Amino acid sequence: MPANKDPKSYVRAVPLPIPSCKGYKLLARDTINFNPEFPTRTEVRKSNYDRRQDQMSAMGFRSANHKPYIGIGDPFYLDEKKMILHALGQWTEELASTSSSSDETDDDNDDTSGAPKPAFTAAKFVLRRSRKDLNTLNKAVVHGRNMIRNVSLGHGLFDLIHKEKQSKKQASELAIKKRREMLRNEFQPPKNESDEDSEDDIGEDVDLTKLVSS
C-alpha cells in the first residue's frame, strides 16, 4: 500500500472531539460499550427525532427552492482520506487546500502518462448486459430468497448447499465435454501436397545400384 494511502501516515493519535464522560455514573456497560447517565435516553431520542425531522423537511428533495441544496448525510466524501479524517474530526481547511492541489497534480500525471484508455462503446455495454453467465446482484438476491424459502419449508441448508455444488460441478464437466466434442468435430485444414510427397520420399528406400546398371 502506498504511503499516502495508508491511514497511519495521516491520522493523528488524538482523542475524538466528543464530550468526555469522565465523572458520570455508568448505568450499564459491557466489554465494548457503556451507557452513562448523561445524556439521558430521552435527550438522545429527542435529538435523533429532531435530526430526522430536519432531514425530512429541509434536506434532499424537500430542500427549499430559495436556499442552497442540502443533501441527506452531507458532507459526503468519495475520497477515502477525506472520509476518515472527517469521521475522526481531523479534517481542516488546510488539509482541504493541500489535498485539492495534490489531486490536481495526480490528474496531470495521469493525463501525461500516455497510457491507452480502454475503448468502451454502447455495443459492448449492451453485449455485457445481455450475457446470461454473469453473476449480477439481481441473481444473488433471487438465489438467496429461494434458499430462505426452501429452508423455511423444511429442507436442510447443508443438503441444499451440497446439491448446488454438485450441480455446478456437473455443469462445468458437461461444458468441458461439449467443448472437446466441438473441437473434435471442427473442420481441419487440409495438408499441403508437398508435405505429403516429402514424407513419402523419405519413407521409401530406393536402390541406387539398379539405376546405375540400367
Distance CA 204, CA 199 (A): 9
Q: What's the gap between Cα 186 and its chain centre?
A: 38
Q: What angle do the packed helices 137-152 and 157-184 form, to 10 degrees?
A: 130
Q: Could you read off the pLDDT tens digit of each residue along the chain, which spans 214 residues?
A: 565 678 888 888 888 888 888 888 888 888 888 888 888 889 989 999 999 999 888 888 888 888 888 888 777 788 888 888 888 888 887 777 676 656 655 555 555 555 555 555 655 655 555 666 677 788 888 888 888 888 888 888 888 888 989 998 999 999 999 989 888 887 777 766 555 555 555 555 555 555 555 5
Scanning the chain, the segments in alpha helix (DSSP H) are 41-58, 80-87, 93-112, 122-130, 137-152, 157-184, 193-203, 208-213
* CB contact at 8 A, 29 and 35: yes
- Smallest Cα–Cα separation from 82: which of 60, 104, 97? 97
Using CA atoms, how far apart are residues 156 and 150, in angstroms rounded to an integer?
8
Residue 29: strand pairing partners: 34
Is this model's pTM higher than 0.85 or not? no
d(CA 212, CA 214): 6
What is the tens place of the pLDDT at every residue in 52-105? 999 888 888 888 888 888 888 777 788 888 888 888 888 887 777 676 656 655
Dig out the grid coordinates for 74 from the structure. Answer: 452531507
pLDDT of amino acid 52: 92
Task: Note the residue count of the chain.
Answer: 214
Q: What is the CA radius of gyration of the chain?
A: 36
